[in-house]
Amino acid sequence: MAAKDRIHSAVKSALIKDGWTITHDPYTLDNIEPKLYIDLAAERFLAAQKDDQFIAIEVKSFVGESAVSDLEDALGQFILYHDLLAMKEPYRELLLAVPEHAYEGIFSEPVGQLLLTNKRLRLIVVDVLSEEVLRWVR
């Protein structure tokens, strides 16, 4: 199992503050060998809709020397996990948790905007210091 990302704890706390119950830390994709792990899984019950929401969250800090390289790595991992998760639990939505600086940086540039516009990625933007969810980009 890979080491936890630098902002893992902040993302986990932010999700809990936002009303989510963490159900897995990590979430094992055991429908394939070798086993792969998505950082977190969570759920919450929405009484108004009488429905549960289920999510899986891959966490990325975007602190490498190249934001484009970080984005390429995150996108490849996201696509792989998305397709594997769709086989195991198609009702669970996969999101990429990123810090605010990544959203205001690479995701505000044309290459990042293209991925968001084409819905290649779904994001949870987190303020790492206050451990709060700033926005959901779906």
pLDDT per residue as tens digits for the range 8-51? 999 999 999 999 999 999 999 987 888 899 999 999 987 655 57
Containing domain of residue 62, as a range?
8-137
Task: Give helix 110-117 / helix 67-88 axis angle, nearest 10°.
Answer: 10
pLDDT higher at 26 or 52: 26
Do 39 and 8 meet the contact criterion of CB atoms below 8 Å apart?
Answer: yes
Evaluate whether residue 3 is within a structural domain.
no
In this structure, which amino acid lies at residue 50? K
Evaluate whether residue 132 is within a structural domain.
yes
Separation of CA 28 from chain center: 15
Evaluate whether residue 107 is within a structural domain.
yes
Summarize the confidence of residues 61-71 as an average pLDDT: 96
Give me the number of domains the chain comprises.
1
Summarize the confidence of residues 70-99 as an average pLDDT: 96
Evaluate whether residue 1 is within a structural domain.
no
